[in-house]
Chains A and B, each alone.
Chain A
């Protein structure tokens, strides 16, 4: 059948994903981000040679890990066309809870407890959004305040101290010199990218964000999948909270505010669209590393913190401008 041959020609020969060409385009963008990270690293390295020491580079990755893990979760939500403003507060709730749990329970249980509490917060967001049909921005703006308050209430208004050593070891320790949070960050990036590309969950979130009416007419359980995206975002925020508690040796109920916006910044730098329907997990991870590199590098150059903020803000805008320009040319 000649028409079949014709179609075969136009289909990608051996790509594994749904669209090899599309995939190549995204690889190019991610390679670009990676290139910027490398150039920045070399630049800072020339100015301050110790910047490129193994120990320092691992430290930069450790800085990136928390934001990066948050960004991965947020990417699932942005993919649906929603947003989760509460993840910073969820980090605080989970940090406090896992800190308190660690006093009486084995370290692994305390970590899993933090993740479970984060996922529970996400479930609250997801159910409120899908049942009330109120926009995610408003719902999570509300829960952002609620969760932040809960963290303070649970902690009794002050930081939780006396985090036992085994707990810190579980998350702040390392394997072959690489800290566990960094390993988790890399592992989760790979898992999230695979989920996005090769599972119905990733596919359905893409469809929902692209055109939710189409998704509904295709028989997709829009509400359940959307809610699940918030559960994933909450769970990653829970893990981030546990990591912070382990690293700091104390659980601070007031942390989280900056983390939210940095995570969103990392996500959009990586090519995820706020309007939904398009997302990149590897891009979000690179975005987090880029921001961490920039911040750490400017610190080594003794640039004051407020100038750093200006630089990071400019970098976000620049990344998206470059993205626009290359797309227009293509």
Chain B
């Protein structure tokens, strides 16, 4: 590998935001035909570095070299011309446009400004097919599942024939099978001599995929090693957080689950949910596994009153609960931490305090009590080890911190039943462990938790019981001791 010359070099990259040193003197060298993983906790500076590589924002100082030649990226178009493509962490699609339109967006072949749609469709179809895309390519992408949208995003990068492909957490919303398919594609790209810059928090897949791993911590380069020089997950975790961490998940304490608090019976929603029943008891964490599109999020939305069921009943603490709106659900003590934090949980332009106290803002003589709002927020978030100030705009916080703000909101609302939908998606190892500990603490305090997750180690490591959904039905209920990776995957994928 050393005989080849690097395709991309970053030297002494430094970037400062007001009050924060986002990156300090960071270097990275990427060779063709390798998967180079960039690792680090949230806030370590990975996203900033990726943005600099892709021309989204400039570095304050330092240099970028492509094929040994200095390059300047003032805007994404410059980076694209240099052969760089990027799969963004947050879905970057135009919701009103079809998969085909999104794949070729900005790179349509034209004659006198007129788009050659036949060619565009052929090109889009080709790169979608490589990913095994099996949804409609001619409906607006907002009608597709998150996993399918992610494939569209990936197909965009594949269709440009870039030499350097940046992938920012591409597996965050994919199921095991879908991830496997992605890994095969990455293998193919590597064999074809492409350079892949890969970001993921899933250490297992990082170890499987990477040829080289560069670790950032607090905006500084900690280490850059070949795969052979890394001994295993604990090694990586030590590099990332500077300390050792226990295995994923916090296992249940010995004490048995308490009384039943939620009973969902025979819920139907045409085409989505078929006769779904489940119960939750105080003090337990119930994991909900299944493929993306199996109906898990849809079930959570029905229980929370965000969508209507066509039939079925919900009992809370033994009493029938008429839940027609999220307001009803909140009054019944049900909390939903949605999968898509940025669009469904947080008002990004409002402050941390406003977001945390959104359900019941404190008032004094009918006026908002800002001071109490801040103290309430700090009181609930400080125990969660949150780096923030109550007056900070929530959109500027890292993913892990944002999730804690959402959690703080529900803690302030006296909820008894917590539904977590992908609670640690896109969250780094350190913050993930804290959120797991917090979930276990909640259970130990007698709350009931339903945890929807596509991260199998998380489901297995956290749950007292595991439910598996497939095609809108609950197809298996596994007690902790029977819940193995093989068993869950078998039930989730069986035909």
Contacts and interface: CB of A to CB of B under 8 A. Distances in A.
Interface of A: 1, 3-4, 6-8, 10-12, 15-22, 198-201, 203-204, 206-207, 210-211, 213-221, 277-278
Contacts of B139: 19, 21-22
Contact of B125 (A8, A211, A218): A8
Given A8-B125, A10-B137, A217-B88, 7 more contacts: A19-B140, A199-B114, A207-B97, A214-B92, A215-B94, A217-B54, A277-B94
A44 to B, nearest CB: 36
State the main secondary structure of chain A at its contact with B.
Answer: helix
Given A12-B138, A19-B138, A22-B140, A214 B93 contact: yes
A17 B121 CA distance: 10
Contacts of B117: 16-18, 198
Nearest to B118: A16
A203 B137 contact: no
Nearest to B94: A210
Nearest to A273: B96
A201 B114 CA distance: 9
A22 B132 CA distance: 23
Nearest to B77: A219
B234 to A, nearest CB: 36
Contacts of A198: 114-115, 117
B86 to A, nearest CB: 7
B380 to A, nearest CB: 32
Interface stretch (B4-12, B99-107, B223-231): B99-107
B293 interface: no
A100 to B, nearest CB: 34
Contact of A206 (B77, B88, B96, B125): B96
Contacts, number: 122
A39 to B, nearest CB: 30
Contacts of A20: 138
Given A10-B136, A10-B137, A218-B76, A200 B125 contact: no
B361 interface: no
A203 B103 CA distance: 12
Contact of B108 (A203, A216, A221): A203
Nearest to A218: B106
Given A7-B137, A215-B106, A218-B76, A18 B114 contact: no
Contacts of A19: 98, 100-101, 138-140
A217 B115 CA distance: 20
Interface string B109-138: 010011101001100011011101111111
Given A22-B138, A200-B110, A217 B129 contact: no
A190 to B, nearest CB: 14
Nearest to B140: A22
Contact of A214 (B94, B108, B114, B135): B94
For the complex of A and B, list the 10 residue pairs with the smallest distance between their C-beta atoms, beginning with the closest.
Answer: A218-B106, A210-B94, A219-B77, A4-B129, A19-B98, A277-B96, A19-B138, A12-B138, A7-B129, A199-B113
11 contacts: A7-B134, A10-B136, A18-B117, A18-B120, A19-B138, A20-B138, A200-B113, A207-B97, A211-B92, A217-B76, A278-B96
Interface in B56-112: 56, 75-77, 80, 86, 88, 92-98, 100-101, 105-108, 110
Nearest to B135: A10
A67 to B, nearest CB: 26
Contacts of A15: 138
B93 A211 contact: yes
A200 B115 contact: yes
Interface string B1-24: 000000000000000000000000
A20 B135 CA distance: 15
Contacts of B77: 219, 221
Nearest to A195: B113
B93 A18 contact: no
A143 B105 CA distance: 33
Nearest to A7: B129
B105 A207 contact: yes
A1 B128 CA distance: 12
A216 B76 CA distance: 7
Given A7-B125, A200-B115, A217 B92 contact: yes
B97 A210 contact: yes
Contacts of B101: 18-19, 203, 206
Contact of B95 (A1, A10, A210, A218): A210
A136 to B, nearest CB: 19
Interface in B395-429: none
Given A200-B110, A200-B113, A214 B121 contact: no
A198 B108 CA distance: 10
Contact of A200 (B88, B94, B108, B133): B108
Contacts of B100: 11, 18-19
A22 B98 contact: yes
Contact of A18 (B56, B98, B130, B134): B98
A272 to B, nearest CB: 12
B139 to A, nearest CB: 6
Contacts of A17: 117
Chain A CB within 10 Å, residue with most, of B97, B114, B139: B97
Listed residue (B76, B96, B107, B137) with the most chain A CB atoms within 10 angstroms of its CB: B96
